[in-house]
Amino acid sequence: MKLPDWRPRLLAYVTAAAREPFVPGTHDCALFAAGAAEAQTGRDPAEGLRGTYSTLTEGLRRLGALGHADHVEMAAAHFAEVPASFAQVGDLAVVATDEGDALGVVQGEAVYVLQKSGIAMVPLTAAHRAFRVA
Protein backbone atom coordinates (compact mmCIF):
# COMPACT_ATOMS: atom_id res chain seq x y z
CA MET A 1 0.00 0.00 0.00
CA LYS A 2 1.29 3.45 -0.88
CA LEU A 3 2.16 5.84 1.91
CA PRO A 4 -0.10 8.91 2.29
CA ASP A 5 2.75 11.23 1.24
CA TRP A 6 4.03 9.04 -1.60
CA ARG A 7 3.98 11.78 -4.25
CA PRO A 8 6.43 14.18 -2.54
CA ARG A 9 8.53 11.21 -1.41
CA LEU A 10 8.74 9.95 -5.01
CA LEU A 11 9.62 13.41 -6.31
CA ALA A 12 12.37 13.81 -3.71
CA TYR A 13 13.73 10.36 -4.54
CA VAL A 14 13.85 10.92 -8.31
CA THR A 15 15.40 14.38 -7.81
CA ALA A 16 18.16 12.94 -5.62
CA ALA A 17 18.67 9.92 -7.91
CA ALA A 18 19.17 12.21 -10.91
CA ARG A 19 22.35 13.54 -9.25
CA GLU A 20 23.88 10.10 -8.69
CA PRO A 21 26.17 8.39 -11.20
CA PHE A 22 25.28 5.02 -12.67
CA VAL A 23 27.08 2.39 -10.56
CA PRO A 24 26.12 -1.30 -10.78
CA GLY A 25 25.08 -2.61 -7.39
CA THR A 26 24.60 0.88 -6.01
CA HIS A 27 22.64 2.89 -8.56
CA ASP A 28 21.53 0.98 -11.65
CA CYS A 29 18.12 0.69 -13.31
CA ALA A 30 16.93 -2.18 -11.09
CA LEU A 31 17.91 -0.37 -7.91
CA PHE A 32 16.57 2.95 -9.22
CA ALA A 33 13.16 1.37 -9.81
CA ALA A 34 13.24 -0.46 -6.48
CA GLY A 35 14.14 2.78 -4.72
CA ALA A 36 11.18 4.50 -6.33
CA ALA A 37 8.91 1.73 -5.09
CA GLU A 38 10.39 2.03 -1.61
CA ALA A 39 9.84 5.80 -1.61
CA GLN A 40 6.17 5.19 -2.29
CA THR A 41 5.50 2.17 -0.07
CA GLY A 42 8.25 2.00 2.55
CA ARG A 43 9.14 -1.50 1.31
CA ASP A 44 12.33 -2.16 -0.66
CA PRO A 45 11.88 -4.90 -3.29
CA ALA A 46 15.68 -4.99 -3.69
CA GLU A 47 16.39 -5.60 -0.01
CA GLY A 48 19.42 -7.85 0.27
CA LEU A 49 20.57 -6.97 -3.24
CA ARG A 50 22.05 -3.49 -2.84
CA GLY A 51 25.83 -3.45 -2.60
CA THR A 52 26.19 -7.16 -3.33
CA TYR A 53 27.55 -6.82 -6.88
CA SER A 54 29.76 -4.48 -8.87
CA THR A 55 28.96 -5.42 -12.48
CA LEU A 56 25.67 -5.97 -14.26
CA THR A 57 26.65 -9.58 -14.96
CA GLU A 58 27.20 -10.15 -11.24
CA GLY A 59 23.86 -8.46 -10.60
CA LEU A 60 22.09 -10.94 -12.87
CA ARG A 61 23.78 -13.78 -11.00
CA ARG A 62 22.65 -12.34 -7.66
CA LEU A 63 19.10 -12.00 -9.00
CA GLY A 64 19.25 -15.62 -10.12
CA ALA A 65 20.32 -16.68 -6.65
CA LEU A 66 17.26 -14.88 -5.31
CA GLY A 67 15.02 -16.76 -7.76
CA HIS A 68 14.63 -14.07 -10.43
CA ALA A 69 15.71 -14.50 -14.06
CA ASP A 70 16.49 -10.77 -14.26
CA HIS A 71 15.57 -7.34 -12.89
CA VAL A 72 12.26 -7.28 -14.79
CA GLU A 73 11.22 -10.59 -13.24
CA MET A 74 12.18 -9.21 -9.82
CA ALA A 75 9.66 -6.42 -10.41
CA ALA A 76 7.08 -8.97 -11.60
CA ALA A 77 7.56 -10.96 -8.39
CA HIS A 78 6.72 -7.92 -6.26
CA PHE A 79 4.11 -6.02 -8.24
CA ALA A 80 1.04 -6.85 -10.33
CA GLU A 81 1.56 -6.46 -14.05
CA VAL A 82 -0.73 -4.02 -15.85
CA PRO A 83 -0.91 -3.08 -19.52
CA ALA A 84 1.76 -0.46 -20.17
CA SER A 85 -0.91 1.88 -21.56
CA PHE A 86 -2.63 1.79 -18.13
CA ALA A 87 0.50 2.62 -16.12
CA GLN A 88 0.09 5.48 -13.68
CA VAL A 89 2.47 7.89 -11.97
CA GLY A 90 4.86 5.91 -9.78
CA ASP A 91 4.35 2.57 -11.50
CA LEU A 92 7.37 0.75 -12.91
CA ALA A 93 7.74 0.38 -16.67
CA VAL A 94 10.01 -1.72 -18.86
CA VAL A 95 11.63 0.05 -21.80
CA ALA A 96 13.90 -1.54 -24.41
CA THR A 97 17.34 0.06 -24.69
CA ASP A 98 20.47 -0.72 -26.68
CA GLU A 99 21.77 -2.62 -23.63
CA GLY A 100 18.54 -4.57 -23.03
CA ASP A 101 15.42 -3.96 -21.01
CA ALA A 102 15.56 -1.17 -18.44
CA LEU A 103 13.21 -0.59 -15.55
CA GLY A 104 11.97 2.94 -15.19
CA VAL A 105 9.45 4.97 -13.23
CA VAL A 106 6.29 6.30 -14.84
CA GLN A 107 5.76 10.04 -14.65
CA GLY A 108 2.58 10.79 -16.54
CA GLU A 109 3.08 10.30 -20.26
CA ALA A 110 6.82 9.69 -19.81
CA VAL A 111 9.07 7.22 -18.04
CA TYR A 112 12.20 8.16 -16.10
CA VAL A 113 14.89 5.68 -17.12
CA LEU A 114 18.34 5.53 -15.55
CA GLN A 115 21.07 5.27 -18.15
CA LYS A 116 24.83 5.25 -17.82
CA SER A 117 24.77 8.96 -18.72
CA GLY A 118 22.07 9.84 -16.16
CA ILE A 119 18.30 9.92 -16.08
CA ALA A 120 16.48 10.18 -19.39
CA MET A 121 12.80 10.55 -20.13
CA VAL A 122 11.21 8.36 -22.77
CA PRO A 123 7.57 8.31 -23.85
CA LEU A 124 5.32 5.89 -21.99
CA THR A 125 4.40 4.50 -25.41
CA ALA A 126 7.95 3.03 -25.52
CA ALA A 127 7.17 0.79 -22.52
CA HIS A 128 6.28 -2.79 -23.32
CA ARG A 129 5.50 -3.94 -19.76
CA ALA A 130 4.41 -2.17 -16.58
CA PHE A 131 3.92 -3.01 -12.93
CA ARG A 132 1.52 -1.33 -10.51
CA VAL A 133 3.25 -0.04 -7.39
CA ALA A 134 0.54 -0.21 -4.76
Total tally of structural domains belonging to the chain: 1
Task: Give residue-wise pLDDT tens across range 92-131.
Answer: 999 998 889 999 999 999 999 998 888 999 999 999 999 9
Specify the CATH number for the domain of residue 32.
Answer: 3.90.1720.10
C-beta pairs of 61-68 under 8 Å, 24+ apart in sequence? 63/30
Q: Distance between CA atoms of 92 and 112, rounded to whole angstroms?
A: 9
Helices 56-65/71-78 angle, 10° precision: 40
> Which residue segment(s) compose the domain that 13 sits in?
6-132
DSSP state letter for 55: S
| 1 domain residue, yes or no | no
pLDDT in tens, 16-52: 999 999 999 999 999 999 999 999 999 999 998 999 9
- CA-CA distance, 14 to 89, in Å (whole number)? 12
Whether 35 maps to a domain, the answer reads yes
Inter-residue contact 133 to 88 (CB < 8 Å): no
User: pTM higher than 0.75 for the full model?
Assistant: yes
